[in-house]
Amino acid sequence: MGASFKANMRNFPSLVNCTTIDYYHAWPIDALISVAKMKLPESEISLGDYKDSVIKIFAIMHKSVEHLSIK
């Protein structure tokens, strides 16, 4: 790794701070939907009739990233 690696880590801390390794673990779709339902009421966004659709898309996006990270 050497001196240039250490220098880059000091000069660009986001290389370490913004790096996530294997962040997306396999979650059942029901668990993802449950978490979204629990967390959405805390948000300041008014979703109205779209709340259920937004909850479903959160779960779908997470599952898509999970599948692509495996690929």
Rounded alpha-carbon distances, angstroms, from residue 22 to 14, 39, 68: 17, 23, 12
Q: CA-CA distance, 70 to 62, in Å (whole number)?
A: 13
Q: Region 63-67: what's the mean pLDDT? A: 86
Q: Helix 51-70 crosses helix 29-39 at what angle (to 10 degrees)?
A: 130
Per-residue confidence at 57, pLDDT binned at 50, 70, 90? very high
| 2: pLDDT strictly greater than 90 | no
The per-residue pLDDT for range 7-51, each reduced to its tens digit, is 877 888 777 776 555 555 688 999 999 988 888 876 777 888 888
Q: What's the pLDDT score for residue 10?
A: 82
Q: What's the pLDDT score for residue 47?
A: 80
What are the backbone dihedrals phi and psi of residue 51, each rounded to the nearest 5 degrees, phi first? -55, -50
Q: CA-CA distance, 32 to 10, in Å (whole number)?
A: 37
- Tokens describing residue 34: 């449950």
